[in-house]
Structure 1
């Protein structure tokens, strides 16, 4: 019987009554299989009690140093003998190292002592130090300063010479025009010859002066270029060596798949997206786990990843909660690695609106107000066309214009305005742009919050590595403000009203879940919280001016939760 691989962990908890899944779970949207939940609990128990290494997750107030929470992963596998067990992995480095007992190794270890990466890094660091020394050299800095002053003087002198030429030309023109009225034809022609000679003389001496000044300018610039060229060549060399080193690293990350086919990181991203791999690609837990399984002929059964530690400042990551694999870094890699393995269908390709209907709340000749069900697209997506827009287009075939005046997230239910022609669309849109439309949402939060009301102001931007997830970002984020008030607190849940001042993607969901917001996700939030039957967020009330009558009207449809 083949020996068990060193990273294969036997279950300590009895699992005899847990049935195996029919297919491997889709890693970008899933509910953890019971076997993964057991494996994760056992790994979490180890993380709470281990003394093999020290890492500050932000869970122990007595620890000092930088707080870094981590994503951990478990992969339930079946050995050739039929025995079930699991593998464990962490994303990136843990406690400053790529290797720890009980965890699968990285696909490629850039920190290997004597490896080409560390040697290449030393060379790049030496170039950096040389550049820094040259840029901070006192004689170079003094030369820069003196050159800048002298060049400024020369440029001023050049401009002065050019100004004199312009003034001389202007003066001669005035003299010529005045003389034409006062002098005889012969005297006028004689003056024109004198003015012409004066012009040529001025241009001659100006040209000589300009040539002298330009020569001085070139000499000064050339003196400085002795230093700057050296720095430029060093920077170009650094750029080339860094690029070559990065490319070599990409080539070392060779990923197997279920069919035992290997493909490196550079080829995967170039083939799939025609781009260079993003930083950190291949270092996440999921690729590490699958790579180890394929290398040791272990059959993958199910995978799950959870967050351990304090949430980062920008992202929403809750201690012990499960999260899908990131799309930006992992999707192209896992698409290759899972080839040949039976995997659950991508739920994003299944029409969530199947069997659901859009109810009409109000309708006249110009517009209507509808109540959108939860898990229903406002407009057509890449793969799924069924949406509010398509349903309205079918209902009003003679309508002109964009129809859908504003959108709700697919998972959010509630009131939406529909325009029947382009003119009405523009009038309603204008109210949204001017923020004169008032909207109120109701949400059920997955926990009890202390305060009764308040204002949340957290700027948001998209997570480029994991769309459509949003991040709190004070540098690049767009302003996002939400007013809120508690309605009720009951059985560990809090029902609240939200009044969005701005309308950013996932604004209410992030403001509810983020630690700097309410710190409590909305019930059923499958991105920032825990999946349930539905997202408990509903646009229940809206007030605006009718686009034709100008009369202020409002509508309200209560949530079904």
Structure 2
């Protein structure tokens, strides 16, 4: 079995896990870590394939990082080894023997997929030629100019008609006291005829221009109808190719039950996301089940440069993605005893919620880390629920703003709807001053700065956020270094905006500080906690309008 890899190191002293890895939130088991490190060594020195991961700068090819996975397994002879896989495809489209094959190889010679791709490529080529055609560009420019000239001329004509109408009305008004009845009647008939003449001229002008427009549009339609037809044909071929591809992807589970993507994603309104089945985890498990290998533990790691939008750090471990992998893995791991889902554990149950200020309408609390601001889907314990229980007669939303579950620090609440509205308006108008303290997992070169990276939710992997300059919401953060300690940097964050995960993303993203907050399990590496704390806040009291400020130091 050429894809069954033996450990180069002695593993006899490593205790095996009692349960399989929960793939969506885990600490990599020592066996998986060791397997990953061996793949690291291979990737650093291999000559089996060509792919620019962005680690070295001596390549002209576009740098693209990639997710890899390792699955520790036991074969029928009770030998323990591991499998390795990569997500998607490599730049040279090769399938090195070091890695398990794809669930379905769409790129075998003469396959329907390659033929379909060739047809779509031919359409794209024709579209490209048409869109660059000199006659098309000339006609398109002339058509646009003609429409603008006509619109301008008709608008000008309407303004003239409006002035003429105003002038006729004034002439008629002035003539009332100057002309006799017969003269006034003749003037009225003349003014009426002038109005008809204006309307007739405008109608004739519109018809004249319509003739010119039809001629110009017909010339343009010769090209645009063909372009439109090709786009529809491309979409139809692409959809057919995608649906056929989905039907070819079928996944085994431990019971040898096979399910295709179309069966797994059985909601007709939800198509399988692009790339489904091409991630490392499904490849690894499918190969293991097909070859009677028992899964022991699994981990996935990033290798190479981070993408422009999502945050990925070289060699860091990451959970399986939610949109593409979760439905597939739910089928593949059926019947396998796994580690518990730590995301469902209520970590706040034994934690105390300290009230640091209270009056008739306002409450200020110090929220512990791993404590929800509002109830979640599975965990009800939260700042909101505890305050609601303590003050059952309080009205309004109570919560004025939120902190991430993993972030500790100062949180404002109100006892009345009116006070809540006043405080929320201060947040919206950005008159509230906030300061966070964070410990970053690395050494910063600059002393201070400003970060402006727009953010939106990662629709494929909630609750993570992406940097997106097209669809993202404006997000801005000022920062400054407090001190450096043992290879880590303590900083102040001053958020100008208040987006979800803003400080975490701005710290970790390669175009931000490129240094994750210590303990950030979404954008960096797990630790005992997320080292981010809302330390200071300043605002105006909702009723007295006096300036109020509170400071609570972090416990890290």
TM-score by shorter chain over 0.5: yes
Partner of 1:483: 479
The whole-number CA distance in structure 1 between the counterparts of 2:240 and 2:193 is: 64
Aligned: 1:459 with 2:456: no
Which segment drifts farther, 160-169 or 220-229? 160-169
2: distance between equivalents of 1:145 and 1:306?
51
Deviation at 1:281, TM superposition (A): 2.5
Using the alignment, how far apart are the partners of 1:428 and 1:394 within structure 2? 22
Partner of residue 492 from structure 2, selected from 497, 500, 504: 497
Contact 2:49–2:94 (CA under 8 A) maintained in structure 1: no
1:156-175: per-residue Cα shift (whole Å, max 9, x none)?
66667766766666666556
Deviation at 1:155, TM superposition (A): 5.5
Give, in whole Å, the separation in 2 of the partners of 1:7 and 1:69: 23
Are the aligned partners of 2:65 and 2:304 in contact in 1 as well (CA < 8 Å)? Answer: yes
Displacement of 1:88 after TM fit? 0.2
- Asked if residue 429 in structure 1 is aligned to residue 432 in structure 2, the reply is no
Q: Which residue of 1 aligns with 2:74?
A: 78
Stretch of structure 1 that moved more, 437-446 or 282-291: 437-446
Q: Distance in 1 between matches of 2:280 and 2:156?
A: 67
- In the alignment, which of 126, 132, 144 is matched to residue 128 of structure 2? 132
Deviations 1:267-322 (A, max 9, x none): 43452x93223332322111111121222232222110112223334443222221
Q: Is 2:341 the partner of 1:308?
A: no
Where do residues 283-322 of structure 1 align in structure 2 (5 Å cutoff)?
A: 283-322=278-317
Q: Which stretch shows the higher mean deviation, 191-200 or 454-463?
A: 191-200
Closer/same/farther in 2, CA of residues 176 and 396 from structure 1, 3 Å limit: same
More displaced 10-residue stretch of structure 1: 5-14 or 396-405: 5-14
C-alpha offsets along residues 328-349 of structure 1, whole Å, 9 cap, x if unaligned?
Answer: 3222222232223222332222
Deviation per CA, 1:99-153, whole angstroms, max 9, x where unpaired? 1112011222333322222222222222222233333333333444444555556
1:530 and 2:525 aligned = yes
Moved more, 180-189 or 387-396: 180-189
Task: Single out whichever of 342-351 and 148-157 deviates more from structure 2.
Answer: 148-157
Change (3 A) 1:68 1:139: closer
Taking a change above 3 Å as real, the CA distance of residues 189 and 269 of structure 1, as seen in their structure-2 partners, is same
- Provide the secondary structure at the position in 2 that maps to 1:393: helix
Q: Give the length in aligned residue pairs.
A: 554
RMSD value, Cα:
3.0
Going from structure 1 to structure 2, the CA distance change for 1:428 and 1:189 (only over 3 Å counts) comes to closer
Task: Give the 3 Å change call, closer, same or farther, for CA 161–539 of structure 1 in structure 2.
Answer: closer
Q: 1:545 touches 1:551 (CA, 8 Å); kept in 2?
A: yes
Q: Matches of residues 167-246 of structure 1 in structure 2 within 5 Å?
A: 181=177, 207=203, 210-246=206-242
- The match for 2:381 among 376, 386, 395 is 386
* Equivalent in the alignment of 1:441: 436
Asked whether the 8 Å contact 1:151–1:220 carries over to 2, the reply is no
Q: Please give the alpha-carbon distance, in whole angstroms, between the structure 2 residues aligned to 1:66 and 1:179.
A: 81
TM-score (norm 2): 0.89
The 8 Å contact of residues 366 and 424 in structure 1, kept in 2 or not, is answered as yes
Is 1:553 aligned with 2:552? no
Report what 2:7 is aligned to: 11
CA 1:182–1:109: 2 relative to 1, 3 Å: same
| C-alpha displacement of 1:352 | 2.0
Deviations 1:17-49 (A, max 9, x none): 333323222111000112211211222222223
Residue 323 of structure 2 aligns to a residue whose secondary structure is: helix
1:405 corresponds in structure 2 to 400
Is the contact made by 1:76 and 1:301 (CA closer than 8 Å) also made in structure 2? yes
Secondary structure of the residue aligned to 1:328 is coil
Distance 1:315 1:157, change over 3 A: closer
After superposition, the C-alpha distances for 1:420-448 in whole angstroms (9 at most, x for unaligned) are: 11222223223333333333333333344
> Paired residue for 1:513, among 487, 508, 511?
508
Q: After superposition, what is the alpha-carbon deviation per residue over 1:227-254, rounded to whole angstroms, capped at 9, x for unaligned?
A: 3222222222222222222222222222
Does the alignment pair 1:60 with 2:92?
no
Give the Cα separation in 2 of the matches to 1:170 and 1:509.
64
Is the 8 Å Cα contact of residues 98 and 109 (structure 1) preserved in structure 2?
Answer: no
**Aligned-pair distance for 1:182?**
5.3
| 1:316/1:513 contact within 8 Å kept | yes
Displacement of 1:202 after TM fit? 6.7
In structure 2, distance between residues paired with 1:494 and 1:530: 15
Determine if contact 1:257/1:338 at 8 Å carries over to the other structure. yes
Which SS does the other structure have where 2:302 is aligned?
strand
Whether contact under 8 Å (1:458, 1:472) holds in the other structure is no
Distance 1:495 1:117 in 2: 52
TM-score calculated relative to the size of structure 1: 0.88
Q: Distance in 1 between matches of 2:144 and 2:434?
A: 58
CA distance in 2, matches of 1:248, 1:366: 61
3-state SS of paired residue (1:128): helix
2:210 and 2:14 map into 1 onto residues whose CA distance is 85
- 1:345 aligned residue: 340
Instruction: Provide closer, same or farther for how the CA distance between residues 219 and 258 of structure 1 changes in structure 2, counting only shifts above 3 A.
Output: same
Distance 2:306 2:198 in 1: 74
**Equivalent residue, structure 1, for 2:102:** 106
CA distance in 1, matches of 2:233, 2:440: 55
Any conservation in 2 of the 1:454–1:485 contact (CA below 8 Å)? yes
Counterpart-to-counterpart distance in 2, 1:86 and 1:54: 23
Cα 1:240–1:55 shift into 2, 3 Å? closer
CA distance 1:200–1:549, change in 2 (3 Å): closer
| Cα distance change on mapping 1:159 and 1:259 into 2, 3 Å | same
- Counterpart in 1 of 2:353? 358
Change (3 A) 1:537 1:221: closer
Any residues of structure 2 matched to 1:260-275 within 5 Å, and which? 260-271=256-267, 274-275=269-270
Compared CA separation, residues 180 and 500, structure 1 to 2 (3 A): closer
